[in-house]
Amino acid sequence: MRFVLRRLGFYLVAFWVSVTLNFLLPRVMPGDPISRMMSQSQGRMTPEQVVQMQALFGLDNRPILQQYIGYWHSLFTGEMGVSISRFPTPVSEVIASQIGWTILLGSTALLIAVVIGNLLGILAAWRRGGVLDSALPPILVFIGSFPYFWLAMGALDVFGVVLGWFPLRHAFSAGATPSLSPEFIGDVAMHLVLPAMTIVVVSVGGWMLAMRNTMITTTSEDYIVMAEAKGLKANRIMFRYAARNATLPAVTNFGMAIGFVVGGALLTEVVFAYPGVGFQLLSAVTALDYPLMQGIFLTITGAVLVANFIVDMVYVRLDPRVRAS
């Protein structure tokens, strides 16, 4: 299919551009990681050690084109190098140890927000002028207008500290050993509630509004009138005719969003001390840890591109008009 090939070609080019940007960005930044470590130690690191460490970390001094080629080579061999800020732990190990939690938190929050948001949107559109339609969107948008970290800290304070309903940090109780037992899964779920719910609360308004508006336009189409005239039940029309067509833009947005889940939720991880790639990236950036930064960027770019490609393919199946164009 020509469409598939075109999209594939586009993604390959996008991948190349992102990888090159990944490569250039850290090398453009001022300073070097060891001086950064020195400033953080505030006098505990001796000046003599700094010189030695530069050799230890094997900072690259080859010409930049050689480094670039070496970078591509390491991409294909999957070798992402050794992290500087977590020396000598390999980058792949650092990322792998947290990517699971990132995906868990991000996809849980995203799925809940998408499902609830779209359902609410469909219902709101179906019952125009009802409570759902007039009261809920403004409320949700208002809640979503607060800066996320502000809401998150407030939620943590109210539900965690004051009411004590939920744990205050981390992905599971400190000292527990991960297993597939119901207790552990329950523990993880309890720790997931506050972080995931704050993300859901902030983003559900957007999904709901989008779905509602799309639904409203869709329900005014002639074929809906025809279906009603034919006597089909309201439920059936709403879900099997109107909603199906209205979900198309939502699918595209969902695709984009699921790719970004891999990038972590930085502010959530900071406020709730939830292990994740987002804060990892921030600290890698501030520590000038080039290998780790590049590794994380690569993971995010790869995931986003793959997710988008899959969504594009799914979209082709869902919307025949795309195939025709």
Number of Cβ atoms within 10 Å of the Cβ of 139: 10
* CB nearer to another protein: pick between 49 and 68: 49
* CB nearer to another protein: pick between 60 and 187: 187
C-alpha dist (Å) from residue 232 to 121, 127, 236, 241: 21, 17, 7, 11
Least distance (Å) between residue 64 CB and another protein: 18
Least distance (Å) between residue 212 CB and another protein: 8
Least distance (Å) between residue 316 CB and another protein: 15
Among 194, 196, 243, 281, binds another protein (CB under 8 A): 281
- Nearest one of 314, 109, 123 to 211, comparing CA atoms: 123
DSSP letters spanning 151-174 = HHHHHIIIIIIIS--S--SSSS-T
CB 118 within 8 A of CB 104: no
Within positions 105 to 124, which residues make up the interface with another protein, using CB under 8 A?
none
CB 107 within 8 A of CB 276: no
CB 26 within 8 A of CB 293: yes
Sign (positive/negative) of CA torsion 292, 293, 296, 298? negative
Among 136, 243, 267, 311, binds another protein (CB under 8 A): 267
Least distance (Å) between residue 168 CB and another protein: 6
Distance CA 22, CA 311 (A): 24
Give the residue carrying structure tokens 């190990």.
93
Distance CA 33, CA 319 (A): 50
Fill in the per-residue mask, 1 to 40: x = in contact with another protein (CB under 8 A), - = not in contact. ---------x--xx--xx--x---x--xxxxxx-xxxxxx
Least distance (Å) between residue 306 CB and another protein: 11
Within positions 203 to 262, which residues make up the interface with another protein, using CB under 8 A?
203, 206-207, 209-210, 212-214, 216-217, 219-220, 224, 228, 233-235, 237, 248-249, 253, 256-257, 259-260
* CB nearer to another protein: pick between 63 and 88: 88
Backbone angles phi, psi at 157, to 5 degrees: -65, -50
157 binds another protein per the rule CB under 8 A: yes
Among 202, 247, 295, 311, binds another protein (CB under 8 A): 202
Fill in the per-residue mask, 41 to 80: x = in contact with another protein (CB under 8 A), - = not in contact. -xxxxxxxxxxxx--x------------------------
Side-chain-side CA neighbours of residue 317 (13 Å): 6
Query: In this structure, what token pair is assigned to residue 281?
Result: 């990236």
Least distance (Å) between residue 229 CB and another protein: 11
Q: Which stretch binds another protein (CB under 8 A): 59-67, 69-77, 201-209?
A: 201-209
Within positions 84 to 103, which residues make up the interface with another protein, using CB under 8 A?
85-89, 93-94, 97-98, 101
Distance CA 310, CA 255 (A): 8
Least distance (Å) between residue 67 CB and another protein: 19
